[in-house]
Amino acid sequence: MQLRLPFWQRLLLTIAAMLAASWIAGLLWRSVFSFPLPSYAAGMVGGLTALPCWELLKRFLPKQDAQPANTFRR
């Protein structure tokens, strides 16, 4: 059985992606419309970012410990 990324790592990366997407969307909105992005719209952007991010992170496997180069088999 292959181990996947632990739950807490997926959660942390997903939250970071949500915050980054909401922040970038807010900057773009403000530059185009000259007033702040409504909070419900920022939440929608973050939530829509979280879904594909979570599914993508479920596919990543943690790195295996590398074997030392000087290991001899007997």
Q: What are the residue boundaries of the structural domains of the chain, listed by start?
A: 7-59
Q: What is the pLDDT of residue 60?
A: 82
Whole-Å CA distances, 57 to 4, 10, 49, 68: 9, 6, 12, 28
Q: What is the pLDDT of residue 53?
A: 95
Radius of gyration of the chain (CA): 19
Structure tokens at 62: 């943690």
Q: What is the pLDDT of residue 63?
A: 72
Spatial distance between the Cα atoms of 2 and 34, rounded to a whole number of angstroms: 49
**pLDDT for 44-65, tens place per residue?**
999 999 999 999 998 887 776 6
Q: What is the pLDDT of residue 37?
A: 92
